[in-house]
Copies of this chain bind each other. A is one copy, B any other.
Amino acid sequence: MNNIKSYVENNRDRFLSELIDLLKIPSVSADSKHKPDMLKTAEAVKKNLLEAGCDSAEICETPGHPVVYGEKIIDKNLPTVLVYGHYDVQPPDPLDLWNSPPFDPVIKETEIHPEGAIFARGACDDKGQMYMHVKALEYMTKNDALPCNVKFMIEGEEEVGSEHLAWFIENNREKLQNDVILISDTGMIAKDTPSITTGLRGLSYMEVEVTGPNRDLHSGLYGGAVANPINVLSKMIASLQDEDNRITIPGFYDNVKEYSEAERAKMAEAPFDLEEYKKKLDIADVQGEKGYSTLERASIRPTLDVNGIWGGYIGEGAKTVLPSKAYAKISMRLVSDQDWENISELFTKHFESLAPKSVKVKVTTHHGGQAYVTPIDTLEYQAANDAYAEAFGKDPIPQHSGGSIPIVSLFEKELKSKTILMGFGFDTDAIHSPNEHFGIWNYLKGIETIPLFYKHFTKLKQAE
């Protein structure tokens, strides 16, 4: 199976151009005006799967955006790998901060990507990482190197909370039966420091609306006498965190696991340069929960961030208005045993209790997902470990990620199989940000590593 390297080398340009074609379609799931683009992308992924060697592939309707399903069954007695990925992407705004159009992919070299990186929305999250699996399948089928069965479940709602994937899974348990779920939608530490994500944070995404007077008022005639919903909203948001940057919602920390000094020391071994981190973000100082390191704050601790806020006059110049309404999108990252639905309730109850009598408050839940932690003493993790060891020449580091893939915990519950998070992106790839990119080295290294997982997983499974 050594000729995977040469196969990737010989097909390098085609692998890149195929991905670029996929990145040109603006599949923004959050924005209903992109519905046609979502269907177009699903069609393209179905075609890609068939060309890569799937026996069958189909576009499965859901109450929301469709799921693309494909499979290649070579022997019912062999193990089955289920690959999960998503073809939808985050909204590209703010557009003015992109150096090139988000859906007009360009290849540019960067300091940590001397071989070049593809700049486009979705390059890393998740079209690029999803497509590594398609090309890995192509290699295995074209070179008679597929050791087991494979199924693909590529959804279109990951960036909006996988609202209908649970529905899809419940209605397709039989079809989705597998021995392990493989996902590339996370990152790794560095080229010479392979890592596997063993923890993900949960998410609870809320939206709040504060209403003062029933119409916009003149701030001169009413200012000082009538509650201003923006001032009130600011006060309410400010009170959600205390001076130690701890979240003040009663019961919020009840199910948060406290790690032992030994466990924290082990995590602290991951290479991290705080000065470099601050320099890259151009910040004079970091800020977070008192008593925890930056890495801990961004992985094993829960958070509360305002993702968007708006109200009143936001145009050019000045307008002396006391607005009727103010809004904010607020999300919380959750850890260990925090239940996202319970946290959403606690948030709603607390936020409503913060409102003075002078305003009305409406709180709605956008979506959420549970946190996920995978043990590393399993056959599945061992297989992944062996694959990385063979591809990188060293064992990967198990690592907690601060991100969320809301659906992962549901996979285990519904499909009774373990999930392996083989991510090949870097934290600096600017996913969810302007100028998102994915290194060509990372893309090709992923294609090279994935077949090794199939090999080791099948071997270990058969040796059971």
Contacts and interface: CB of A to CB of B under 8 A. Distances in A.
A113 interface: no
Contacts of A314: 308-310, 327, 329
Contacts of A329: 312-314, 318-319
The 9 A-B pairs at the shortest CB distance, nearest first, are namely: A224-B303, A30-B317, A220-B403, A308-B312, A238-B238, A227-B287, A214-B282, A287-B358, A230-B306
Nearest to A404: B220
Contacts of A187: 221
A318 B307 contact: yes
Contacts of A287: 225-227, 356, 358
A111 B214 CA distance: 17
A226 B318 contact: no
A320 interface: yes
Interface string A234-265: 11011101000000000000000000000000
9 contacts: A32-B316, A93-B315, A97-B216, A224-B289, A224-B297, A285-B356, A287-B356, A307-B321, A321-B433
Given A298-B222, A318-B205, A238 B239 contact: yes
Contacts of A235: 234, 237-238, 241
Contacts of A224: 288-289, 297-298, 301-303, 305, 333, 402
A234 B238 contact: yes
A392 B216 CA distance: 32
A430 interface: yes
A449 interface: no
Contacts of A304: 231
A463 interface: no
Given A205-B320, A220-B201, A287-B227, A213 B282 contact: yes
B161 A432 contact: no
A130 interface: no
A402 B220 CA distance: 5
Contacts of A233: 234
A326 interface: yes
A157 B237 CA distance: 36
Contacts of A221: 187, 298, 401-403, 427, 431
A432 to B, nearest CB: 4
B433 A286 contact: no
A225 B286 CA distance: 6
A357 interface: yes
Contacts of A431: 218, 221
A284 to B, nearest CB: 5
B216 A31 contact: no
A266 to B, nearest CB: 19
Contacts of A165: none
Contacts of A217: 281, 432-433
